[in-house]
Structure 1
Amino acid sequence: MVKQDQLWPGGFRFFFDDGLFQPGTDSFLLGSFPRLRRGARVCDLGAGTGLLGLLLLAREPSLQVTNVELQEAAVELARQNAALNGLSDRVANLRVDLRDKTRLPPAGTFDLVVSNPPYFDAARGAVAKGTERGLARADCTCTLPQLCAAAARLLRHGGSFCLVFRVERMAELFACLQSCTLEPKRLRLVQNTAQSAPKLLLLEARKGGKPGLSVAAPLLLRGPDGGESEELAQIYFRDKE
């Protein structure tokens, strides 16, 4: 069912389909993570309904965003979201299989590539195949090496690839990135509380970057009282309510 929500009162509105891509904390976390420059050219690989692009544009309105998504229904909602917010001149929506380099934008086009990719390896049987939600959660149509290769191709030299991913696959992620000349440069782990083990990571890798990884303090979702942390509240734009 298609529903509508808003980032904050007076902020961007967006459609989503709860049978496709529901707005999740991971998208908001990733939306807060990249270092954005005025006028930067941004590509979201596996963009779904385009929420991540809206989150980035809410932080830096001068961005030029290209959404790449395979599922037709999601692409149509992404187009509607751009039009709904008067962003059709800043957001391009492409229905493209990111494994098909002949249909992707030219190599070296983007300053920043972002992705909230499927977390699970379909070959391990973690998620049912053949469903729209399964495609969003498991790499049935695009493996981690294929994603990293697409990001590396689209980035200019010195450009950044930022993504959110599962901590349990960190070693695999680093190996895939480095095999594509994407050097991990900035890492932040995401924890529910200060005492809990991290399950998610936020990572920036740089095309052609030199070795050297900085690790930030963990991002805590809950404060000492068990309520939403102050940082998470800002990520969700609560300070604008």
Structure 2
Amino acid sequence: MVKLIGDERLDYLLAEDLRIIQSPTVFSFSLDAVLLSRFAYMPIKKGNILDLCTGNGIIPLILSTRTNGKITGVEIQERLYDMAMRSIAYNNLEQQINMIHGDLKEMPKQLGYGKYDVVTCNPPYFATPHKGNQNPNEYLAIARHEILCTLEDVIRVSSQLVKQGGKIALVHRPGRLADIIEQMRKHRVEPKRIQLVYPKQGKEANTLLIEGIKDGHADLKLLPPVFVYNHDNEYTKEIKTILYGDKQEDMQA
């Protein structure tokens, strides 16, 4: 059994055969987090992985199915941290996933410099608007806007935490690509792989996946695009596989 608070619900992660606690008023993960979890390089047998801005733990949960390494999630909002902790316990993953309630900007001092093989992050996407233009829901405002951390904070801290030769993977908006590359190079991270995600054929990309290597050499690869919906406004086969795995056939039966 799992304790649910308020409007929380226990959702399936079908492709991973896991469950996760979500709340429409506090936090529910988006496709962006799932795409990042599948895009990021993962050491299979061992390694130390860190996920910043971890929310309700969606990325550590999915990564646990791709690696036997130790995974740490960092979340500043106590309510989201608590949701993640309960989800990890429900899935019996306490031996693999550790959660920290704290500010990512403090993590290099708290966890140590150059300790991680991979750092992932699904950060707030938008610059902080005037208070009157922010989402009145504090949980959602902090998750979406650079209120408690900026893009530079995320990249600087990720660079400090990752080993030399280690990898940093982010999901963001395509409009921030120039800023991301500028900040990566400023903080000794060389962009190596980029993949754009499009809502459907003929539309502009609305999601950016990017991975860089600490002190890497310049050799950027542009991966094939990902399309979310087909012309019938149904998930493409690629997205169905990411979300449902082999269970998509059972759902259609």
What residue in structure 1 maps to residue 162 of structure 2? 155
Q: TM-score, normalised by structure 2?
A: 0.89
Structure 1 residue aligned with 2:242, among 219, 235, 239? 235
Pick closer, same or farther for the CA change 1:228–1:177 going to 2, 3 Å: same
Q: Does 1:93 align with 2:99?
A: yes
| Partner secondary structure for residue 105 of structure 2 | coil
More displaced 10-residue stretch of structure 1: 33-42 or 151-160: 33-42
Q: 1:101 to 1:59 in 2, by over 3 A?
A: closer
Deviation at residue 177 of structure 1 after TM alignment: 1.0
Matched, 1:24 2:30: yes
Q: How does 1:65-84 map to 2 (within 5 A)?
A: 65-84=71-90
- 1:121-152 alpha-carbon deviations (Å, 9 max, x no partner): 10577634771110000010001111111100
Q: Which residue of 2 is the match for residue 3 of structure 1? A: 9
Q: Secondary structure at the match of 2:86?
A: helix
Taking every aligned residue pair, what percent have the same amino acid on both sides? 27
Partners of 1:41 and 1:10 in 2: how far apart?
20
Q: Structure 2 CA distance, aligned partners of 1:193 and 1:9?
A: 22
- Of 215-224 and 108-117, the range deviating more from structure 2: 215-224
1:153-232 equivalences in 2 (<5 Å): 153-232=160-239
> Any conservation in 2 of the 1:129–1:140 contact (CA below 8 Å)?
no
Shift in Å at residue 33 of structure 1?
A: 0.4
Structure-1 separation of matches of 2:177 and 2:136 = 23
Deviation of 1:206 after TM superposition, in Å, equals: 0.7
1:223 positional shift: 2.4
Give the direction of change, closer, same or farther, for the CA distance of 1:236–1:131 in structure 2 (3 Å limit): same
Tell whether the 8 Å contact from 1:98 to 1:150 is kept in structure 2 after alignment.
Answer: yes
TM-score (norm 1): 0.94
Contact 1:122 1:129 (C-alpha < 8 Å) held by counterparts: no
- Mean CA deviation greater in 199-208 or 215-224: 215-224
> CA, structure 1 residues 10+161, in 2 after alignment: closer, same or farther (shift >3 Å)?
closer
- Matched residue of 1:171: which SS? helix
Greater Cα shift, 42-51 or 5-14: 5-14
Other structure's SS at 1:178 match: helix
1-side partners of 2:19 and 2:110: how far apart? 28
Q: Kindly tell me the number of residue pairs found equivalent between the two proteins.
A: 240
Q: CA RMSD in A?
A: 1.8
Q: Which runs of 5+ in 2 are unaligned?
A: 1-6, 249-253
Structure 2 residue matching 1:58: 3-state secondary structure: coil
Note closer, same or farther for the CA distance 1:102–1:153 as it changes in structure 2 (3 Å cut): closer
Residue 112 of structure 1: aligned partner: 118
Does the CA-based 8 Å contact 1:114-1:162 persist in structure 2?
Answer: yes
Which string of whole-angstrom CA distances, capped at 9 and with x for unpartnered residues, describes residues 76-111 of structure 1?
111111111111011111011011246531111111
CA distance in 2, matches of 1:194, 1:222: 8
- What SS class does the counterpart of residue 104 from structure 2 fall into? coil
In structure 2, C-alpha distance between the alignment counterparts of 1:130 and 1:237, rounded to whole Å: 30
CA contact (8 A) 1:190 1:220 kept: yes
Unaligned runs of 5+ in 1: none
Q: Does the 8 A contact of 2:15 with 2:246 survive in 1?
A: no
